[in-house]
Amino acid sequence: MSNFQGKVAIVTGAGRGIGEAVTRKLVAGGATVLAVGPGRNEEGLAAELGEQVVPVVCDVSVEADVDNLFAICRERFGRLDLLLNNAGISLGGRRLHETPIAEWDQVMDINLRGAFLILRQSIALMLESGGGSIVNTASIGGVKPSLSTTPYSISKAGLIMMTRTTALEYARDNIRVNVICPGTIATPMIEAGGAELIAKKEAITPIGRIGTAEEVAELACFLLSDVAPSITGGVHTIAGGREAL
């Protein structure tokens, strides 16, 4: 298990799925986590895991909410060591010309604008703190195109480039920035699609099954940890072999 003793972390989208799995792993390693989300599950996570979890209600696409998150982080801890920039939504099922503008805007607001707002303030605080480690959550959809996922795939491709440029800009400031690109993962979002959708995703995954949030958390926490000191700017797929197709 990675040692995060005494570290302060922010995890967005912390209430379920990958964000919840990473939060649990960081806490088990000794970190204190600001668990950020819309308020559905973060309080329960704090009640279960104790005072190492600080729940914060925040819509990452709203600047005032992000300002409040970082005001809390500064007031309570005065620094930031780790960030999992994970909040995101997936809307799709339409070809590009059928995509409503409101749907495009909603995906971009959360997946790109929100990621930028969180990243921007995290870096500013890490510069004051002497450095840190950041993992952004993109998707295999940002690496390989698929049908009827235009807004989502473009937003995740943009996040990949945001990661790479940020890693270059802050490499000499002791701030590492990486991006993970999961394939289909067994989270409440995919499970809500039903058995037929899961079977379809398993059929296109070379290893024959979809991944788990815990597997992704292992990769994310490795990249966040001090055992990966020279890994930055990387695009790390975890998609059961789909990246090889």
Q: Which of 152, 156, 159, 187 is catalytic?
A: 152
Handedness of CA 89, 166, 59, 223 (dihedral sign): positive
What is the pLDDT at residue 107?
96
Average pLDDT of adjacent 10-residue blocks, the chain of 245 residues: 92 96 98 94 93 97 98 98 96 88 96 98 97 98 89 96 98 98 89 85 94 97 98 97 91
Give all domains of the chain, ordered by start, each with its CATH number. Answer: 8-238 (3.40.50.720)
Backbone angles phi, psi at 56, to 5 degrees: -135, 120
Q: State the Cα–Cα distance between residues 36 and 15, nearest whole angstrom.
A: 8
What is the pLDDT at residue 1?
64
Nearest to 221 by CA among 121, 137, 105: 137
Would you state the structure tokens that stand for residue 116, as one six-digit string?
Answer: 């930028």
Would you state the structure tokens that stand for residue 106, as one six-digit string?
Answer: 């909603």
Give the CA distances from residue 190 to residues 76, 198, 214, in Å, rounded to whole numbers and listed in that order: 35, 7, 15
As a whole-number percent, the residues of the chain with pLDDT over 90 amount to 87
Please indicate whether residue 152 is annotated as part of the active site.
yes
Instruction: Read off the pLDDT of residues 120-172 as tens digits, 9 standing for 90 and up.
Output: 999 999 999 999 999 999 999 999 988 888 999 999 999 999 999 999 999 99
Is this model's pTM higher than 0.85 or not? yes
What is the pLDDT at residue 32?
98
As a whole-number percent, the residues of the chain with pLDDT over 70 amount to 100
β-strand partners of 94: 149
